């Protein structure tokens, strides 16, 4: 059986790709679950999903609440000739991804928190011409303590 965090991360990938098919985003992409992001190899738009943390707390005497941290990385090399327009479009995409994820629960997990700070990595953008943003979504799953 797959780890709970991977089940939820895979469900977020499916959710994002369904959003692309429904024209919910300013740009088309194919989201994928990865274990690490290779920013050096990035030449085109990449949307990657990583499960990065779990926190378990007791919700009731016989029930745990498991919070799963899912990070959605959005990266794209920015053309210096169209810098301002490209950055504006990427910020729009990041906000659309945040809003889309915020509005959907996945795989029996409730989306409870979303973070987008900083909006994108300004230093990496100015130094390397690479737009990089991370949308951090927290999903909560309740499970019986016997299942733990």
Do 54 and 77 form a contact (C-beta atoms < 8 A)?
A: no
Backbone angles phi, psi at 10, to 5 degrees: -65, -35
What confidence score (pLDDT) does residue 59 get?
Answer: 85
Indicate the pLDDT class of residue 66, thresholds 50, 70 and 90: very high
- Read off the pTM: 0.92
Over residues 72-89, the mean pLDDT reads 94
* Residue 128 clears pLDDT 80, i.e. is over it: yes
């Amino acid at each position: 059986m797959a780890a709970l965090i991977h089940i939820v991360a895979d469900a977020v990938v499916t959710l994002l790709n369904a959003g692309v098919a429904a024209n919910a985003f300013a740009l088309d992409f194919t989201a994928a679950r990865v274990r690490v992001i290779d920013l050096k190899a990035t030449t085109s738009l990449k949307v990657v999903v990583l499960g990065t943390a779990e926190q378990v707390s007791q919700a009731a005497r016989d029930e745990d609440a498991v919070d799963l941290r899912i990070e959605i990385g959005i990266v794209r090399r920015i053309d210096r000739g169209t810098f301002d327009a490209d950055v504006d479009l990427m910020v729009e995409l990041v906000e659309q991804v945040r809003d889309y994820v915020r509005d959907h629960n996945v795989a029996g997990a409730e989306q409870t928190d979303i973070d987008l700070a900083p909006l994108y990595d300004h230093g990496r953008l100015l130094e390397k011409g690479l737009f990089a943003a991370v949308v951090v979504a927290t999903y909560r799953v309740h499970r019986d303590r016997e299942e733990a």
